[in-house]
Amino acid sequence: MLAGGVVAALADPTGAARGRTYGPYLHRNVYHTGRTFAVGGHIAFWPSYSSNWFASAQVLLGVGWNFLYVGGTNLLIRSYSTAEKGKVQAANDLNIFVVGLLASPSAGALHSAIG
């Protein structure tokens, strides 16, 4: 069931969103598309706790996370000069890796404690 969310999170968002998301304001369009998918994922889980609603919420949240990541990274890179872009991208990637690295065991410990 979680495989749909993982696949959605790792898919290429700009390849799947040809058309209106491309242009001079790519980062804004991709970011707003991701926000829409993420909100849709939260809304999809409200009606019921059944596995179908959960699976659809996982996919929507995965797609939303992917679009938000690409749009936010693009926005971050546009904020710096050409000489600084590499360092900023490296710092951004490192921060995302460290947060993910710390969140995984924390989620496991929280699940073990609360159930």
CA 15, CA 69: separation in Å to the nearest integer?
Answer: 14
Total domains in the chain come to 2
The verdict on 20 and 70 lying in the same domain is yes
| Residue range of the domain that includes 46 | 2-79
Q: State the average pLDDT over residues 85-110.
A: 90
Query: Which of 16-20, 80-84, 110-114 comes out lowest in average pLDDT?
Result: 16-20
For residues 53 and 109, membership in a common domain is answered with no
Examine the domain organization and report whether 9 and 56 are in the same domain: yes
What residue spans of the chain are helical by DSSP H?
Answer: 2-10, 13-16, 26-45, 51-78, 85-114
| 78 or 2, higher pLDDT | 78
Task: Look up residue 49 and give its DSSP letter.
Answer: -
Sign of CA dihedral 100, 8, 86, 88: negative
Together in a domain, 33 and 69: yes
For residue 23, give the DSSP letter.
S
Tell me: do 60 and 18 sit in the same domain: yes
Pick the more confident residue, 115 or 40.
40
- Is residue 26's pLDDT more than 70? no
**Mean pLDDT, the chain, whole residue set:** 79
Do 6 and 18 belong to one domain? yes
CB 20 within 8 A of CB 78: no
Query: How far is residue 108's CA from residue 106's CA, in Å, rounded to a whole number?
Result: 5
For residues 93 and 39, membership in a common domain is answered with no
Read off the tokens for 12.
């290429």
